[in-house]
């Protein structure tokens, strides 16, 4: 469900956090559209943090040390990357209002970035909102192969280590499906969201210097706790 924002109501960072706690988030029609719309999907994507699939080739790329991963170092760079046009997509929904709101949440410690660097240059990453023990993924980008996927792997390990219970992807895409993303109906998602809002988690608990091998071990250990297996059949 999408509803046009009532322009008589100011959307503040506090209003935005309350919306997330209710399972609602804002979007714009395009980067040039000043209006925001509240989105409440009837189907919602989540990545179960105890059943994450990391394809074998991606695990190999993680271990190679080809990319460096940093946390919360370049919010504007990540937003710019997520908003940039690229083949098959002329523009995105990230308009000035989105930049302002999530920038404010970043300064307050509720919005976080995971950034992937190649030779010191930002080449991929993601950003999202942390609230309770839920992380709401907003957008990701990549200008080099696997750069956004590496960021997602590091995000998952950080959430597991920080005792998060819910990773919301908003929608299910083929890009995300390979990691084990599930689609829940609205009622099932809200049933997952409510306890997550009443629990505490720490996005910064995992040291930024954690090695790729340790990151993969955190994910593997979480999978073993529920009997999930890291299959090797899915390649990307």
Distance CA 230, CA 51 (A): 9
Assess whether pLDDT exceeds 60 at residue 88: no
Write down the pLDDT at residue 174. 85
CATH for the 43-90+110-226 domain, from 3.40.50.300, 3.30.540.10, 3.40.630.70, 3.20.20.70: 3.40.630.70
The whole-model pTM stands at 0.90
d(CA 69, CA 126): 11
Kindly report, residue by residue over 18-70, the tens digit of the pLDDT: 999 999 999 887 777 778 889 999 999 999 999 999 999 999 999 999 999 99
* Per-residue model confidence as pLDDT tens digits over 121-167: 999 999 999 999 999 999 999 999 999 999 999 999 999 999 999 99
Q: 145 is written with which tokens?
A: 């192969």
Cα–Cα distance, 53 to 146 (Å, whole number): 15
Q: What percent of the chain has pLDDT over 70?
A: 89
DSSP string, 116-131: EEETTEEEEEEEEEEE
CB 122 within 8 A of CB 115: yes
pLDDT at 33: 76
Given this model, what pLDDT does residue 61 score?
96
- 3-state secondary structure string across 50-109: CCCCCCHHHHHHHHHCCCEEEECCCHHHHHHHHHCCECCECCCCCCHHHHHHHHHHHHHC
Beta carbons of 116 and 125 less than 8 angstroms apart: yes
- Residues near 151 by beta carbon (within 8 Å), at least 6 away in sequence: 69, 114, 115, 116, 124, 125, 126, 140
Each residue of 65-78: pLDDT tens digit? 999 999 999 999 99
Rg of the chain's alpha carbons, rounded to an integer? 17
């Amino acid at each position: 469900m999408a509803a046009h924002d009532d322009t008589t109501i100011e959307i503040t960072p506090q209003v935005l956090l309350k919306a997330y706690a209710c399972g609602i988030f804002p979007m714009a029609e395009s980067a040039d559209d000043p209006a925001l719309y509240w989105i409440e999907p009837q189907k919602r994507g989540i990545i179960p943090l105890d059943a994450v699939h990391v394809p074998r080739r991606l695990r190999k790329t993680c271990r190679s040390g080809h990319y460096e991963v940093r946390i919360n170092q370049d919010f504007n760079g990540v937003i710019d990357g997520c908003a940039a046009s690229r083949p098959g997509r002329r523009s995105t929904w990230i308009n000035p209002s989105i930049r302002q709101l999530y920038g404010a949440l970043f300064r307050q410690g509720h919005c976080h970035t995971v950034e992937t660097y190649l030779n010191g240059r930002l080449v991929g990453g993601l950003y999202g909102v942390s609230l309770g023990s839920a992380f709401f993924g907003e957008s990701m980008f990549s200008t080099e192969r696997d750069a956004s996927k590496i960021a997602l792997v590091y995000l998952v390990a950080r959430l597991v280590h920080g005792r998060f219970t819910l990773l919301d992807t908003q929608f299910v895409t083929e890009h995300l499906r390979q990691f084990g993303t599930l689609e829940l109906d609205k009622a099932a998602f809200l049933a997952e969201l409510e306890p997550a809002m009443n629990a505490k988690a720490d996005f910064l608990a995992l040291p930024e210097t954690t090695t790729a091998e340790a990151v993969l071990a955190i994910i593997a250990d979480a999978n073993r706790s529920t009997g999930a297996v890291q299959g090797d059949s899915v390649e990307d």
